[in-house]
Amino acid sequence: MNAMWPRRAAVREMTIQQALEWAFAVEHARIDFDETGAHEFDRPGVDTIWILQRHRELGCRVDGGGTSDPHPDAQIIAAAVEALPIGVGGRRMALLVAECARARRVPDWGQRERFAVVPCGWDATDTGFTAHEVKGDIWVWRDRHRVRRERRFPACPVIYTGTPASIAAARRTYLNWYGALLHLLSVLGNSLALTYVHLVDGLPELSPWRKGD
């Protein structure tokens, strides 16, 4: 009698961050924003949950073939990342979420930022690399014999790192990424399309920079 019923896959509990890392780093799911026509026949104006359910029923998404497909749950997770609304960052945030998941890391929130003055670029030489130089201003002076002289000295453009503005921007990016994960947890956590992954509560630290406070 047991042979008459399909065996259900074991359910694995994951947080939303673990599920994203599993989908993109382990199963190698991809996002393409329909550049390959994978969603050409999707119905416009339907709810995201409806689209996820249709993907689950199909079992796979058309991606051109040539490689084994990721797990259906991984494809559903990738579809939810693709569908991030503009209010939580849209495509730009989708790319950041996928990139961080593949690398199994969180966005840089400025933990390695140090105030410094560094060259804007580097030039390759036979002996290594030197700071990029440009033509500077013309300096005019008189030598000890009162002879007028002028010379254009090379200059090295520099930038400042670790400024309060750059650290604040990095922290805003981290908080926006956190909000995207919270949105994905809400969308996927209430979906019945996932069969292998069971999402549980658990999010990264909201403000990791407060550890030292």
Token digits of residue 25: 């780093």
Confidence of residue 37 (pLDDT cuts 50, 70, 90): very low
Token digits of residue 115: 């105030």
Q: CA 195 to CA 159: how far, in whole Å?
A: 50
Confidence of residue 94 (pLDDT cuts 50, 70, 90): very high
Q: CA 195 to CA 22: how far, in whole Å?
A: 14
Q: Which amino acid, 13?
A: E
Residue 55: name the closest of 68, 36, 71 by CA. Answer: 71
Q: Find the mean pLDDT for residues 143-167.
A: 80
The pTM of this model reads 0.65
Predicted pLDDT of residue 53: 64
Q: CA 31 to CA 56: how far, in whole Å?
A: 16
Residue 12: name the closest of 196, 150, 145, 147 by CA. Answer: 196
Alpha helices in 59-194 (DSSP H): 72-82, 90-103, 164-189
Residue 18 has pLDDT above 60, yes or no: yes
Token digits of residue 155: 């200059």
